[in-house]
Structure 1
């Protein structure tokens, strides 16, 4: 939703929404289309377009101003004023395109970079038949390569093709060869296999909030796009002002994927986070897709790409298997509190986090009080979100468990740089993590650059639900480093001053250059 108004009123609204955990971003524009702010230009625009005499459309056109098909003559100055002032009927226009009257099931976005893909897929999500969304140009690919890719996708999804453009004269029939055919079957598949999501018919309750929909292929694979509306709480996880996919998200994805395949509690080993996933939440056209695979040997990989034409990048990997170990004994909460005499309040904790560049929003501010001692922390947590079905360990809760170890860094670092998870040796989850409970952290090793600790998550009575053993964190320098200077020498042949541009004999460097003389 886009809201226009006075700058001061928008700042006040943004502050209130931030307090309630609702994502808000100032677009910083001096114009506001489709709002009363455009009324002062109505007369000047009408005068500028007074001589416009549109003709009949040669190609059928569906307008986002009317939300229906237009013939052409009605596209005069009054129409274009409505285009500036009235709300955009984008969903209604897409419905007209994909409805029974026009019946389009392939939508091609023509532009220098795809920005409408998310909105087109969202508008076509409730249709009875799948709709393919094909981009054309992209800033990450050369123009010819991007168009070739778009042509290939159009053919793959079964778009209607006017072959007379490429083959204008009719072909000539020839006799078949006399030798017998070597008959064989070739598996060509169906057009819907080439859609970006091969399971578009999956109901909402069948899609995991983070994994997406499981694909109809032999090896378990899930695909899904990051929806800023459904996953708005991700905007509360920032590092130095940038929204970053939390490491806790990979934990939940691995556990949920294993639970789906094994239908039993899951153990994750060797979880490594090789590459951070930054999310451009300030871009209305954000189009980030996730892919998670779980091989037969238990190896799982989480990858992402931006847009239809972007390359896949791996972010996290590890191995999943059935959890055969009995649940760990319950925590002796009273005994732990006795040996942890010091306390850190919620305000002190999140002030320290902000000082290290971790400005958590409301969804990730789940710790209420932290009891600390020598190499040990016991924290109480209370989730602020209603956990959606499918989560084994909601990222906000697991991230809070990782936060609880921050007091262990006191005295070792100056607190100006965050320590971020790089991997976890073992993750064991016996049951879904409760919305509220306790986090127990024990330090193995802490230095100025690295930290390793074990984490146990339990309910308020100490019954263990999750273990994160061997959590490895590394110091992350958030300050921007100056780019190195580069010196490039370019040599060009030019005529000598006052001489003809003809060929000349080069002097031997050993006789003329002082750098080549022997000493």
Structure 2
């Protein structure tokens, strides 16, 4: 974590894990090198756990172009003292579609949106196992409409220097997901089993370097009870990113062990 100290602010049930938003960023960045920046699908297989006293090697592998028009992608890691690689995510990358971005707003917030309090959100999230440090505590304001949460998310100033290094800074995008904890988009989580990203579909980035986001999170019924859609703009209302579907799942604590080889192994 010495090279990326902001990762230490993402703690789940007392364990530092790499946020799913960072894995999506890795996949999209690799795809960009090959002309396939759209993360068509990315399913998270196991958390990437970080230990304070050791580093971790991360490997992103993109395969050959398939008949579907996409390229398979997989993300692995291993500790420096471990030979086997552990699989953390796999999916498919594709060329960017020409569809119009799903969210571009000039009037903010919408006139019919009802403000909701966010001051105690991070205390409530900590109670169920999500302990966010300052860099991840970006949710500033929120409003609700039926089946919809609108939020304003701000990247803390100490992280502004890194914003241009990512499509969307993973801490900022993770904070955008926190809006789903408001309103009635998701069933209430069980204590100690907070929701974490599980499967991403249709992740496209339209602009880089944003430090303030306007977020619209809506229930995605086609993705099940824990599926949401996110449309994201910057502070001026210009499109930044779209996530067609994100399925979240309750955390399984069985794999929160640094260096564990999980269920998948490269052979």
TM-score range, shorter chain: 0.7 to 0.9
Structure 2 partner of 1:236: 9
Q: How far off its partner does 1:454 sit?
A: 0.3
Structure 2 partner of 1:278: 49
Q: Over aligned residue pairs, what C-alpha RMSD do you find?
A: 2.6
TM-score for both structures, normalised by structure 2: 0.83
Alpha-carbon distance in structure 1 between the residues aligned to 2:48 and 2:78: 10
Indicate the structure with greater strand content. Answer: 2
**1:42-63 C-alpha deviation (Å, 9 max, x unpaired):** xxxxxxxxxxxxxxxxxxxxxx
Contact 1:427 1:469 in 2 (8 A): yes
Map 1:325-364 → 2, pairs under 5 A: 325-328=98-101, 330-332=103-105, 334=107, 337-345=110-118, 347-364=119-136
| SS of aligned partner of 1:255 | helix
Map 1:86-485 → 2, pairs under 5 A: 228-262=1-35, 266-281=37-52, 283=53, 286-297=54-65, 298-328=71-101, 330-332=103-105, 334=107, 337-345=110-118, 347-384=119-156, 385=159, 386-387=161-162, 389-409=164-184, 412-413=187-188, 416=191, 417-445=193-221, 450-476=225-251
Q: Structure 2, unaligned stretches of length 5 or more? A: 66-70, 256-267
Q: Structure 1, unaligned stretches of length 5 or more? A: 1-227, 481-519
Contact 2:113 2:145 in 1 (8 A): yes
TM-score for both structures, normalised by structure 1: 0.44
CA separation of 1:392 and 1:476: change in aligned 2, threshold 3 A: same
Alpha-carbon distance in structure 1 between the residues aligned to 2:121 and 2:77: 32
Q: How far off its partner does 1:425 sit?
A: 1.6
Q: How far off its partner does 1:338 sit?
A: 2.5
Alpha-carbon distance in structure 1 between the residues aligned to 2:188 and 2:82: 42
Q: How far off its partner does 1:321 sit?
A: 2.0
CA separation of 1:479 and 1:391: change in aligned 2, threshold 3 A: closer
CA separation of 1:389 and 1:463: change in aligned 2, threshold 3 A: closer
Structure 2 partner of 1:143: none
Contact 2:165 2:209 in 1 (8 A): no
Alpha-carbon distance in structure 2 between the residues aligned to 1:329 and 1:315: 29
**1:201-252 C-alpha deviation (Å, 9 max, x unpaired):** xxxxxxxxxxxxxxxxxxxxxxxxxxx2220111100101100110001111
Of structures 1 and 2, the one scoring higher in RCO (CA 8 A, sep 6+) is 2
Alpha-carbon distance in structure 1 between the residues aligned to 2:7 and 2:225: 26
Structure 2 partner of 1:511: none
Runs (4+) off by over 4 Å:
477-480
**1:72-118 C-alpha deviation (Å, 9 max, x unpaired):** xxxxxxxxxxxxxxxxxxxxxxxxxxxxxxxxxxxxxxxxxxxxxxx
Alpha-carbon distance in structure 1 between the residues aligned to 2:165 and 2:210: 13
Contact 1:267 1:427 in 2 (8 A): yes
CA separation of 1:229 and 1:429: change in aligned 2, threshold 3 A: same
Alpha-carbon distance in structure 1 between the residues aligned to 2:55 and 2:186: 42
Q: How far off its partner does 1:436 sit?
A: 1.0
